Amino acid sequence: MAVTLPSRTRSAAVAILLAAALSIVPEGPAHAFTGDNHEDITRAALPWEPITLTAMADARDGAINANDHRPYFDLGPLHCDNADYLGSRYADAYPRTRDEATTELLACIRTSVARFRNAVRAADGLVDADGTVRADQSDLSSPCAWDEKAGRAKCAVLEQLGRGWHQIEDFYAHSNWSDRSAPGPIGLDNPPGLGRTELAPFFEIRRYSVMKDADWTREARERIPEDLATGCYPDFDSTGVKPADCEGRVSHNRTLNKDTPSSARSKTGDNFRRATAGATAELTRQWNDFKAELLTEHPDHRRGAQMICALVHDDPAAACP
């Protein structure tokens, strides 16, 4: 049974853990799409030049996989975990309400909104006031650190995007948005599958980034279907409570994840393909939206266009005159 902490204690616990997430610590085992799968999805979605694409997508050292290093690994919202729910027509007295599950999913979305805003700000350092690419800020001749510390602008943008995109990719593997249930009764070990093929409407990160948090949260909440769930995983949820286990809940590990083709839920029909296809299409949307925001935010002297050029090319000083 999860321990309920007083609100001040929960807030303090989350604050301490998030502060710890700003330090560099050893890698932990993945509970998301494997690094290889994150890499495949990211490479398929982004038409970038090879060195830059590797900096983002690499299975071990890419920005897209930075959240799978501890302590980021232990934060449920950074993987869209713990939005588990099963309606009363499928289970009696499920230990998490629909509202609680939705709150966890909103916490996941909120982390991506924050990273999007950070990436837009960091992109300003890629070019001068007249739109000239800054070679020193767009150089990738040495690796980026993904340590949240000030450094080259291109590294900062890639880190913010990668850390914001990771959980969006994870959503398609960890949720029942696009998958189908196995034949037989619906229940804890076989939750309903929504079978959706469209992009999730509550990941309009660009639009949310310019809205007040209360406004986009209200809108996103209304767009979350009744039977949507992600799996319970024993990491920190948005309240700062770390459940001892996921007994009596729809489990990430045993039941819902499609992190690999051999995951239990992947073995029903083409669920793994549906998860990877959804994540790939979603990342394509997120990159296109980020480009659109830069063009809108920085129209003078083609600064936005130059920022995009600096991000996708390996030698921007030469490629983006």
Q: What is the mean pLDDT of residues 282-301?
A: 98
| pLDDT band with cut points at 50, 70 and 90 for residue 184 | very high
| pLDDT band with cut points at 50, 70 and 90 for residue 189 | very high
Q: Is the peptide bond before 71 cis (omega within 30 degrees of 0)?
A: yes
The residue type of 197 is T
CA gap 283, 169 in Å, rounded:
7
Residue 273 has pLDDT above 70, yes or no: yes
pLDDT at 31: 58
| pLDDT band with cut points at 50, 70 and 90 for residue 19 | very low
pLDDT at 32: 67
pLDDT at 192: 98
Q: What is the mean pLDDT of residues 116-135?
A: 98
| Contacts of residue 262, Cβ cutoff 8 Å, sequence gap at least 6 | none
- If you average pLDDT over every residue of the chain, what do you get? 90
Q: What is the mean pLDDT of residues 56-66?
A: 96
Q: What is the mean pLDDT of residues 238-252?
A: 87
Residue 211 has pLDDT above 90, yes or no: yes
pLDDT at 70: 85
pLDDT at 272: 98
- Percent over 90 (pLDDT), the chain: 84
158/18: higher pLDDT:
158
Q: How far is CA 89 from CA 94, 96, 228, in A?
A: 11, 14, 14
Q: Are 66 and 159 in contact (CB under 8 A)?
A: yes
| pLDDT band with cut points at 50, 70 and 90 for residue 243 | confident
Residues paired with residue 232 on neighbouring β-strands, in sequence order: 251
pLDDT at 80: 97
| Contacts of residue 152, Cβ cutoff 8 Å, sequence gap at least 6 | 136, 137, 138, 139, 144
What is the tens place of the pLDDT at every residue in 67-100? 999 889 999 999 999 999 999 999 989 999 999 9
